[in-house]
Homo-oligomer: A and B are copies of this chain.
Amino acid sequence: MKSQLTILKVGGQIIEEKDSLKTLLKDFSLIAGNKLLVHGGGRAATDLAAKLGVKTQMIDGRRITDEKMLKIATMVYAGLVNKNIVAELQALRMDAIGLTGADLNLILAEKRPVGKVDYGFVGDVKEVNAPVLNDLLNQGYTPVLAPISHDGNGNLLNTNADTIASEVARVLAFDFNVRLIFCFEKRGVLLDENDENSVIQFLDRDLYAQYKEEGRITAGMLPKLDNAFQAIASGVKEVVITSASHINTGGGTFIR
């Protein structure tokens, strides 16, 4: 029988507030079975860029990563955010290991080809090193993945954390019963973005298609939901989209 694996993706504001992050990590540590965490960087990268006079360019919610921004992302994501999470998890007696896609060649990516938009040093995932992640998990470690990948030629690349979470979930679904939790500001996917109580409790592919057609799901949610359904299609048991305070309470949007 396959072991349970919970993959938690955290990003946004939660990461920036030491207390809320601590509470979330505590909740995370209470989940039974194998665990893996993927984090974004929140506003810290944008803030540091501003302090350094580096302009942040976003297109459709995606950051344009020039050389300076890649350095900042590497510092903030792989350094500051990643290592503080690892230290907190160690204090909770979880044997965490913070990694980027370059470490152990975990996530090989290729620089996104320049089309209508030049995203700069953004990496599209080519291959996740499932055997090595399996080994780490089977040794009882908790991998903590920063949203930085590499191209195998010595270059780091910036890769969306949601994408990393769902790609990792997909390849690990061969060996584990994977539950993927996307943790963000809202309590789930909302049918009415102005009503926090309009959380969709359950979504499958048909319902998703219907809501999309009806324009009831906001554009910002679409990449996350597309990632979620790709994960389900690859054998991930369940995807949950919920808020930091509900990762253990059964609240949020369940996707199967």
Binding site for B on A (CB under 8 A): 22, 48, 51-52, 71, 74-80, 82-84, 86-88, 90-91, 95-100, 102-105, 135, 139, 141, 148, 150, 152-156
Contact = CB atoms under 8 A, between A and B. Distances in A.
Contacts of A104: 95-97, 141
Given A75-B75, A75-B76, A97 B99 contact: yes
Contacts of A95: 104-105
Nearest to A79: B79
B77 A90 contact: no
Which 7 pairs across A and B sit closest by C-beta, in order of nearness? A79-B79, A75-B75, A91-B154, A75-B79, A87-B102, A78-B79, A86-B102
Contacts of A156: 83-84, 87
Number of copies: 2
27 contacts: A22-B154, A51-B51, A71-B80, A74-B84, A75-B80, A77-B79, A78-B80, A78-B82, A79-B82, A83-B100, A83-B102, A83-B103, A83-B148, A86-B100, A87-B156, A88-B154, A90-B105, A90-B152, A90-B154, A91-B154, A96-B103, A96-B104, A97-B103, A97-B104, A98-B99, A98-B100, A98-B103
A161 B139 CA distance: 28
B80 A152 contact: no
Nearest to A91: B154
A17 to B, nearest CB: 15
The winner among A88, A90, A99, A153 for most chain B CB atoms within 10 A is A90
Contacts of A139: 135
A236 to B, nearest CB: 26
Residue of A51, A83, A95, A153 contacting most chain B CB atoms (<10 Å): A83
A167 B98 CA distance: 22
A76 to B, nearest CB: 6
Contacts of A98: 99-100, 102-103
Contacts of A52: 51-52
A212 to B, nearest CB: 38
A85 to B, nearest CB: 9
